[in-house]
Amino acid sequence: MKPLPRPTVAPIVAAAFVLLAWTGLACQRAPGPDVAARTFLAAWERQDYAAMYTLLTESVQARIDAAEFAARYRAVEAVVGRVQLHATLGERADPDGDSLARYAVTVRWDTTSFGAIAQQLGMTLVHEAAGWRVEWTPALILSELGDGDTVRRVALPAPRGGLVDRHGATLVPTASARGYPHGPLAAHVIGYVEPAEGGGERGVAGLERWADADLRGVPGERLMVVGADGRPRATVAERPPQPGAVLELTLDAALQTAAEAALDGYTGAIVALDPRDGSVLALASRPTFDPAQVADGGPPPLAAQALNRAIQQAYTVASLFKVVVMGAALESGDYDPATLFRCPGYWRPPGGARVLEDPLSGGHGQLTLSDGLAFSCNVVFYEIAQHLNALDPHLLPATARAYGLGSPTGLIGLEEAAGTVPDPQSAEAHGRAWTVYDAAELAIGHGGLGATPLQLARLFAALATDGVLRQPVLVRRVVETDGRERRAYQSEAQGALPLSETHRRAIQDAMRRVVADPGGTAAAGFRTFPVPTAGKTGSAERDGPVLDALYAGYAPADAPEVVVVAVVEHGGSGGLVAAPLVRRVLDAYFAAR
């Protein structure tokens, strides 16, 4: 019997390979939903909207075309200010699902305006014939975004920085909308604001204008989701506004109030300085205005109201200048405080055709140089002017400038007038020669000599203390709302008076007599005042029969803490009108000590 034939090996081997291949294919799975999800997110990171669109479900693609889809992303990213984006796929929420897969996605936006924005998004994928696809909604851009919603950036105004006085009392509060709770108080110092182009407010006068960049602060922004009806639906992110800085002033609000109250009913100015460090304690001007009315949409103040007469109006100095002339006379070496003069009530230089009158009819008779200042005898100073002018016609004008007249004080924060000092050059510019009469008029503070009340306060502060002219200071510090200092200001020495200590003491003694001597021109205004004071009165010719009234004084006389200057337009007598106003301010100062 023949053996059975063996099977052929080749077909068996081929069949085995077919079986193994079929088994391997059967064991391989199609790409899972996580692959599609990561591919979608990676395309978003590189802003490949076309690739993202191919991974959307058929139903989504039926609702939105590729161009609209890309535009939706670009619009949101432009508003958000996208710089970079990172998207991280979390764990699958339903790991056993065959046709639906849900994931949490963490998205970090790096933006230009809002910094980093972190979002937790929900991502759903559906298994379709073509594989896993993204069931997209606008919430896959931002979690708060729905159909028909848009994204907007809303400006948040920065609170404008406030102003406080030397004791920290609020003059103007830090707030988004400017308010002036004290009305006209210190209006010429503070100034006012008006709406700024593009939003917010800008300062147009006073310290509001000078410190506008510091006071404005930095506006913030809010990233909002807005519905189709225009109403906000959600806040995505916010960059808070940064408040403006605060101005710390040297002003004393209580003393400023007293100075302004003293001026009520008058036109003029009052200045109070601390002579020891140049701090401006009060800077009052009348007429005035209410910045609150301007801030509420009212008209700006009239020119006469807006003029800060304390620093922008140069007044005829009148007899206040006699302290300077006395100093020049003593420094010449030809006079001392006891030098005798005779006042018949008038003066005429040798060969002169014109007679200049003394305010006291009949004259003061025989008196000393010190008497001449205490009783404000014009003839004494006419005589001195004649002598000094013969020595050098430029001597008195140069001395006036050395005492700080004819140039701004250097006050930081507000604009000020320079004032004027007449001299031979100015006379020549007007087509005439300088004469002894020009010198005589200058010696009694007339003839075109003009100074602001602040300049006069600085001059008397130097006389009252150590003979050093100091720069007045109004703004002490500019600080952040948390107290950090941006800038600080302090008084700087601007030069010494051309006056020896002995001669300065002699002028101080004469000024003390202006108040203390029964015949002193300010004696009536300071009768019974409990603190020793010193000062000088003045009455200046203006544009009519009624004179301007001036007074400059300081106290205590032996250790000066405060200098006060008052000028009242058409006030008449300096001793009877201006001196009592200074007394009221000094009353307030010493009452608060």
> Dihedral angle at the C-alpha atoms of 103, 109, 115, 119, nearest 10 degrees?
-20
Please count the helices (runs of H) and the strands (runs of E) in the chain.
Answer: 20, 27
Pairing of strands 268-274, 279-286: antiparallel
- Model confidence band, residue 500 (pLDDT cutoffs 50, 70, 90): very high
pLDDT > 50? residue 4: no
Q: What is the DSSP string of 344-361?
A: -SEE--TT-S--EE-SST
| pLDDT of res. 381 | 98
Q: Model pTM?
A: 0.86
318 with 539: CB under 8 angstroms?
yes
pLDDT > 70? residue 1: no
pLDDT > 70? residue 51: yes
pLDDT > 70? residue 354: yes
pLDDT > 70? residue 369: yes
Q: Which of these ranges, 89-98, 106-115, 303-312, has the smallest mean pLDDT?
A: 89-98
pLDDT digit string (tens) for 424-452?
999 999 999 999 999 999 999 999 999 99
Q: How far apart are alpha carbons 318 and 444 in whole angstroms?
A: 6
Pairing of strands 115-128, 100-111: antiparallel
As a whole number, mean pLDDT of residues 379-383 equals 98
| pLDDT of res. 525 | 94
Q: How far apart are alpha carbons 268 and 250 in whole angstroms?
A: 22
Query: SS in 3 state form for 403-469?
Result: CCCCCCCCCCCCCCCCCECCCHHHHHHCCCCCCHHHHHHHHCCCCCCEECHHHHHHHHHHHHCCCEE
- Model confidence band, residue 30 (pLDDT cutoffs 50, 70, 90): low
180 with 291: CB under 8 angstroms?
yes
What proportion of the chain, given as a percentage, has pLDDT over 90? 89
Q: How far apart are alpha carbons 407 and 398 in whole angstroms?
A: 12
Assign 87 to helix, strand or coil.
strand
pLDDT > 70? residue 413: yes
In sequence order, the β-bridge partners of residue 188 are none
As a whole number, mean pLDDT of residues 520-528 equals 95
How far separated are the first and last CA of the chain, in Å rounded? 144
**Element at 40 (helix H, strand E):** helix 33-45
Q: What is the DSSP string of 381-402?
A: HHHHHHHHHHH-TTHHHHHHHH
- Model confidence band, residue 7 (pLDDT cutoffs 50, 70, 90): very low
159 with 243: CB under 8 angstroms?
yes
- Model confidence band, residue 296 (pLDDT cutoffs 50, 70, 90): confident
Q: What is the DSSP string of 294-324?
A: HHTTPPPPPHHHH--TTTS--EE-GGGGHHH
237 Cβ contact partners less than 8 Å away, ≥ 6 residues apart: 111, 114, 117, 222, 223
Whole-number average pLDDT of the chain = 93
Q: How far apart are alpha carbons 492 and 473 in whole angstroms?
A: 9
Q: How far apart are alpha carbons 28 and 150 in whole angstroms?
A: 44
| pLDDT of res. 97 | 80
pLDDT > 70? residue 584: yes
| pLDDT of res. 17 | 41
pLDDT digit string (tens) for 161-190?
999 999 999 999 999 899 999 999 999 999
- Model confidence band, residue 24 (pLDDT cutoffs 50, 70, 90): very low
Assign 132 to helix, strand or coil.
strand
| pLDDT of res. 29 | 54
pLDDT > 90? residue 193: yes
385 with 325: CB under 8 angstroms?
yes
- Model confidence band, residue 16 (pLDDT cutoffs 50, 70, 90): very low
As a whole number, mean pLDDT of residues 324-344 equals 98
